[in-house]
Amino acid sequence: AQRVTQPEKLLSVFKGAPVELKCNYSYSGSPELFWYVQYSRQRLQLLLRHISRESIKGFTADLNKGETSFHLKKPFAQEEDSAMYYCALQAGGYQKVTFGTGTKLQVIP
């Protein structure tokens, strides 16, 4: 069974500092990986997915199959990045999407 681990419940960084939100997964095949974000009083929404290889709002994430990780990174944190971030995995076919427990990012002005 697939599993997604986000080891940090809370990550506090100063504005302008680099950000790295960790995500590790366990799945033997080739998964589809996502980062979802939930800003205060807003709906959960997709931030990025590894297959598209996009940079959204300055965030990037690289799939490392050797380390089974999909860490989310941003070189310079902004106050508006403060939110709850969830890493998610979907196995092959039309399997269910498994979410991690989330990391709250707090950017200190």
Partner 1 sequence: KAGVTQTPRYLIKTRGQQVTLSCSPISGHRSVSWYQQTPGQGLQFLFEYFSETQRNKGNFPGRFSGRQFSNSRSEMNVSTLELGDSALYLCASSTSGRETQYFGPGTRLTVL
> Does 49 participate in binding partner 1 (rule CB under 8 A)?
yes
Q: Which two tokens stand for residue 20?
A: 């790295």
- What mask, x for binding partner 1 by CB under 8 A, covers residues 50 to 89? ------------------------------------x---
DSSP state of 56: B
> Does 10 participate in binding partner 1 (rule CB under 8 A)?
no
When the beta carbons of 44 and 69 are compared against partner 1, the nearer one is 44
DSSP state of 20: E
Dist. CA 100–CA 86, nearest whole Å:
6
Q: Which two tokens stand for residue 77?
A: 């944190």
Among 19, 34, 24, which residue's Cα sits nearest to residue 106?
Answer: 19
When the beta carbons of 15 and 84 are compared against partner 1, the nearer one is 84
Residue with tokens 């800003």: 39
When the beta carbons of 18 and 52 are compared against partner 1, the nearer one is 52
Residues in the site for partner 1, rule: CB under 8 A? 32, 34, 43-46, 49, 86, 90, 94-102
